[in-house]
Structure 1
Amino acid sequence: MSMVTVGALAVSGAALSGCASSSTKSGGASKSAGAPVHGGNLTIARAQDAKSMNNILTFDNSSIFIFEQIMEPLFTVTADGKATKPLLATGYKVSADKKTYTINLRKGVKFSTGKEMTSADVKFSIDQDTKHASTGWGFINSAIQQVQAAGKYTVVIKLKHAWAPLIADLALFSNAIVPNNYDGKTMAEFYQAPVGTGPFKWGQWKRGEYLKLVANTGYWQKGKPYLDSVTWNVVPDSNTRKLQVQGGQADIDEYPDWSTFKSLGTGSNVIAKTFPSTELDYLAFNEKKKPFQDVHVRRAISAMIDRSAINKAVLFGNGTPANSLLMPGVPFYQKSTPGIMKNDALAKKELAASSVPKGFSTTLLIPSGDASKLSTAQIIQNDLQQYNIKVTIKQLDPTANHNAQQNMQYDMGLSAWTMDIPDPDEWTSFAIDPDGGAKSAYTNYRSAEAIKLNRQAQQSVDHSTRAELYNQLQDVVAHDAPFAFLYYAPYAYGVSDKVQNFNVTPLGNYPLTDVWKSK
């Protein structure tokens, strides 16, 4: 999954129409869908622009949701978000020692340029991802020793050691398949207009305004996609997005504010939909800045925050207070993790034991134009003020806010994560391993114990052993409090009743292969 700074989060591959959802609507039932219709442009209004189309170096969902429509991996997630299934692959075999995987490719798959996909493209794509472990998602492939193009439609992956998450890792967007040698282009040139095997291909990007993809008419799933094109419009103000989807200028409002969520469907042809999620919203502490290197400060702040007040005021009761690094929809989530909740006695005790027992001043970074984030920040500001911690709320436009967090130019910041694969390793490696591509989710958290537990869990193929290791890891991180876990929340969308088969997976992505618009 992926970091977000706008209110929920991350993305996918094939159509997953079985995802459960709930909806709220006033003003009549939605129109009968009928048979799928070809044609039309789907317009999605969103708070912030994409950053890059480079699938191996980019961490934000605003980008990921788009380039996953262009580039596909060998495997994808099942409808419930908890397992994988073949996509560009047809299946695989594992050696007895669990260190060699032989993967069979789907024949006849072509890139949008018309060139057939072969094992050479697969080898190049995975190798490219692996090369960028320190700056991108390559850490996900750390167990891979070698990728071999063993035949035109056969790939052999040799591992350094047993690695439980391999197939899930191959379902990650960073391992999506692109043409061998970038079709003769440099990486930078290729990602200006990337090429893949997906249902859509590159259209046009006017930065800060919109990004458009058009249908891949040679897509390997015959007769799909149904849409002619998809356009993501940048609309930072949440109320404007609401008015656009109600007025028909947009088809989908991505991440509407909870305060106006139910009213989206009032007297209009819009359905307010929620989807089950793997989202964790949290307060991040930058341990490069004083006094956040101090575990007592982090634990104290975690104990000061009233999560029930946030759930009531910000999510209107739609969320659940978060207790763990992992989310309830993720394998090995531990409900009994002793995550810090509001506790006045603990807050006072930890602050007294800290390097700043009399309090201090700091800043809390949030994206502008996001009412939910602002309300959350104001509650935190008020909660901390009672302990003589003065918090100044600093708002930057969503893109600048995201850049500031990635460059660790902040004190505290509100952020969120959703999973992109059905294995906790993606998030745990990103969040608690400083060598995992993002300096521990841009916090600079470093715990030898947490790192050891995470790496042991990666290499164990026994389910019960992994469960115990992840339970221990969740306990360690809960104690160290590199984040103040805030809440788990469903995904919220405002969707025109003309849009059919739009579903968001528990991993946060919304594949558009099967989406169509009624007349």
Structure 2
Amino acid sequence: MSKLIVSFRKPFLVGSLAFLLLVLVAGCSGSKNDADKNTNATNPSTTADQPAEGGTFTYGRPASVTSFDLHNQITSNNAFAIDKVFEPLVAFNGDGKIVDWLAASHNISANGLTYTFVLRDGLKFSDGKGVTAEDAVFSIQRHLNVGGPLAIAAQVASLSAQDEKTLVIKLKAPYTPFISELSNFSNGILPKDFGGVSEKEFFKNPVGTGPFVVKKWDSAGDLTFSKNKYYWQKGKPYIDELVYKLIEDDSQAINQLKAGAIDAIESVALENVNELKQGTDTKVATNGSWVTEQLFFNTLDEHFSDVHVRRALALALDRNGLTNAVTFGFAKPANSLLPPAIPYNTNDTIKALSFDTNAAKAELAKSKFPNGFSTKLLIASGNNSRTQEAQIIQAAAKTIGIDIQIESVELASFRERFFAYDFSAMINSGQADSPEANSILAFQTDPEGFSKSYWTHYTNNEVTKLLHEGQKTPDGEKRAGIYAKLQQILADEVPYIPLYYPDILKGVRSSIDGLVVLPNNSARFEDVRVKGN
């Protein structure tokens, strides 16, 4: 699934789309960073002036962490803290490739029904207790029981610990996305029976295998991690503490970074990127992304239940112009739901509704509202890019007789509103949680899923059929054909208009080495070193 990004984490559904942020083969502008200052080094430098270990790394974030319950969370504010404490059997690296993580190896049977994982030697939780296959069984079974926003969609027949280090998962039917979905933060491993405490107490003081341990936590403010002295990657993390500092305003975050009050910021307003790249004490770490910025329609709304209205707006909107105006060259205009970094993307081959005002007027004439109407567009406040996008969409709609009023509300209210379908249209981001096409498609097209087609309640029986076919079809040309057909239907019926694919961008002090930016908008800090310590 996917998660929600700026508004939350997944699709920034971490889940399907950690919400509304997360297969990266190559990013919008490449999975490699620009040379010199704009680096996404997977390893710190090893030159003679290599920074010493220790110190505190402070990371500015726009939203506080409210929960560590990995099976019940999906928004990015929580997902990108959960993944610092809990780790899965397999994970994805900076290039979006699945790699063994807590598992030293894994094997998938020829029929796609049996998955065998062998744990690494010497794995320990942050309390010093050893990790066993029974812990993995407990963790995955708890996820199956809870379900949650990133529920395991595979039909699991059995989970078993063959010995202390070997976990075997058997499926009732093949499910191609399974190995990729196991890399989600929601499939992290925790101690069996929560280490002997209640669920409530456990998630107040979580114990995992990740590089960091919760030291001090204000659910309405900052969060401080300390290094996990039992971390399985020897000698890491290099820093002593990681602080998530709540900074809700984009401008304040930039100012604090430039002043050296913080070491990096999670979200960089696109208009500030060049300023940071050219600064003497700042740089930009980047990566291609699994993110698609979108205009979403509530198909339960009387106006946007009409496909001709949605098509008319898609034709009225100049996506190339919007992308150029808003992203400063750090994004690519979108025609397809899937970002270029995800396999089976059809952005360059799909027949999208291109900018044509006359065609837009003709399309609206076919609707139930040929003379236009008034409606509202919901956005979260505090995001300059979203505000500008809304204004461009508002102006485009006006050219065909649709009057749009922009509603800018605080982030928490924004989430509550669209969770309750209390909107006509909204701007948000959809994001994959794993390097799999299904991660976004399932979250945005399944009317029976957790998000009800990403809160649009879009329903198309042919799309649902194709979605399920794609889930059981092995990777290859047949699966590519299924997803191409599915994406074309979405482009024709536009339950949401893909706007652009943004690069993942983090503002960083020049004194920082080793920050790894991931394509789901998260980051890894175990290699970070702070110069001057």
TM-score bracket for this pair, using the shorter chain length: over 0.9
- C-alpha change, 1:246 and 1:311, in structure 2 (3 Å) is same
Note if 1:108 corresponds to 2:109: no
Match in the other structure for 1:123: 137
- C-alpha change, 1:185 and 1:451, in structure 2 (3 Å) is farther
Candidates 52, 72, 78, aligned match of 1:63: 78
Match in the other structure for 1:176: 188
| Percent of matched pairs sharing the same residue | 32
Candidates 508, 528, 531, aligned match of 1:495: 508
Note if 1:288 corresponds to 2:289: no
Letter in 2 for 1:442: W
Q: Counterparts of 1:377-396 in structure 2 under 5 Å?
A: 377-396=390-409
Letter in 2 for 1:107: D
- C-alpha change, 1:142 and 1:489, in structure 2 (3 Å) is same
Instruction: Give yes or no for contact 2:154–2:171 (8 Å, CA) kept in 1.
Output: no
Instruction: Give yes or no for contact 1:47–1:398 (8 Å, CA) kept in 2.
Output: no
Q: State the TM-score, normalized to the length of structure 1.
A: 0.93
What are the ranges of 5 or more consecutive residues in structure 2 without an aligned counterpart? 15-20, 23-29, 39-44
Q: 2 CA distance for matches of 1:319 and 1:19?
A: 13
Note if 1:247 corresponds to 2:259: yes
Runs of 4+ residues deviating >4 angstroms? 6-12, 23-26
Superposition RMSD in Å? 2.3
Q: Counterparts of 1:27-426 in structure 2 under 5 Å?
A: 34-35=49-50, 37-81=52-96, 83-133=97-147, 135-138=148-151, 140-334=152-346, 335-426=348-439
Match in the other structure for 1:15: none
Q: 2 CA distance for matches of 1:395 and 1:227?
A: 39
Segment of structure 1 superposing worse, 436-445 or 262-271: 262-271
CA-CA distance at 1:234 after TM superposition: 1.6
Match in the other structure for 1:2: 3
Instruction: Give yes or no for contact 1:80–1:506 (8 Å, CA) kept in 2.
Output: yes
Q: 2 CA distance for matches of 1:2 and 1:244?
A: 28
Instruction: Give yes or no for contact 2:4–2:430 (8 Å, CA) kept in 1.
Output: yes
CA-CA distance at 1:330 after TM superposition: 0.5
- Aligned residue for 2:524, secondary structure, equals coil
- C-alpha change, 1:191 and 1:375, in structure 2 (3 Å) is same
- C-alpha change, 1:188 and 1:438, in structure 2 (3 Å) is farther
CA-CA distance at 1:89 after TM superposition: 0.7
**CA-to-partner distance for each residue in 1:407-430, whole Å, 9 max, x for gaps?**
322221111123221111111111
- C-alpha change, 1:300 and 1:88, in structure 2 (3 Å) is same
Instruction: Give yes or no for contact 2:215–2:226 (8 Å, CA) kept in 1.
Output: yes
Q: 2 CA distance for matches of 1:473 and 1:20?
A: 30
Q: 2 CA distance for matches of 1:266 and 1:331?
A: 34
Segment of structure 1 superposing worse, 400-409 or 58-67: 400-409
Instruction: Give yes or no for contact 2:211–2:228 (8 Å, CA) kept in 1.
Output: yes
Q: 2 CA distance for matches of 1:188 and 1:292?
A: 42
CA-CA distance at 1:23 after TM superposition: 6.5
Q: 2 CA distance for matches of 1:359 and 1:33?
A: 67
CA-CA distance at 1:3 after TM superposition: 0.8
Q: 2 CA distance for matches of 1:469 and 1:354?
A: 30
What are the ranges of 5 or more consecutive residues in structure 1 without an aligned counterpart? 13-17
Segment of structure 1 superposing worse, 176-185 or 245-254: 176-185
- Aligned residue for 2:327, secondary structure, equals coil
- C-alpha change, 1:74 and 1:102, in structure 2 (3 Å) is same
**CA-to-partner distance for each residue in 1:334-369, whole Å, 9 max, x for gaps?**
121122232223311221111222212221111111
CA-CA distance at 1:267 after TM superposition: 4.5
Letter in 1 for 2:70: N
Instruction: Give yes or no for contact 1:51–1:58 (8 Å, CA) kept in 2.
Output: no
CA-CA distance at 1:145 after TM superposition: 2.1
CA-CA distance at 1:405 after TM superposition: 2.4
CA-CA distance at 1:75 after TM superposition: 0.2
Match in the other structure for 1:445: 458
Instruction: Give yes or no for contact 1:434–1:444 (8 Å, CA) kept in 2.
Output: yes
**CA-to-partner distance for each residue in 1:106-130, whole Å, 9 max, x for gaps?**
2321111112111111111111222
Match in the other structure for 2:17: none
Letter in 2 for 1:399: A
- C-alpha change, 1:409 and 1:193, in structure 2 (3 Å) is farther
Q: State the TM-score, normalized to the length of structure 2.
A: 0.90
Match in the other structure for 1:457: 470
CA-CA distance at 1:237 after TM superposition: 1.4
Q: 1 CA distance for matches of 2:197 and 2:353?
A: 50
Q: 2 CA distance for matches of 1:184 and 1:356?
A: 61
- Aligned residue for 1:366, secondary structure, equals strand
CA-CA distance at 1:435 after TM superposition: 2.7
Q: 2 CA distance for matches of 1:95 and 1:40?
A: 46
